[in-house]
Amino acid sequence: MPYITLRDGAQFYYKDWNPQGSTATVVFSHGWPLSSDAWEKQMFFLADHGIRVVAHDRRGHGRSEQTWERNDVDNWADDLSELIEKLDLKDIVLVGHSTGGCEIARYTGRHGTSRVAKMVFIASAVPRFAQAPDNPDGVPVPTIDFFRSSMLQDRAKFFIEVPTGPFFGFNRPGAKVSQGLIDSWFAVGIQGSLKAVYETTRSWENDYTEELKALDIPALVIQGDDDQIVPVKVGAYAAIKLLKKGTLKIYPGGAHAIMDTEPEGINQDLLSFIQS
Q: Would you please indicate which residues are annotated as catalytic (active-site) residues?
A: 98, 227, 256
Q: How many CA atoms lie within 13 A of 188 on its CB side?
A: 20
Q: Report the distance separating Cα 255 and Cα 42, nearest Å.
A: 17
User: How far does Cα 141 stand from its chain's mean position?
Assistant: 20
Q: Looking at 165-193, list the stretches that DSSP marks H as alpha helix, in order from N- to C-terminal side.
A: 179-189
Alpha-carbon gap, residue 131 to 128, rounded angstroms: 8
CA dihedral 75, 46, 97, 26 (to 10 degrees): 30
For residue 40, which amino acid is it? E
Whether the CB-CB separation of 149 and 248 falls below 8 Å is answered with no
Whole-number Å distance between alpha carbons of 162 and 166:
6
Residue 253 main-chain phi, psi, to 5 deg: 75, 5
Q: Are 221 and 254 in contact (CB under 8 A)?
A: no
How far apart CA 102 and CA 205 sit, in angstroms, is: 10
What type of residue is 4?
Answer: I
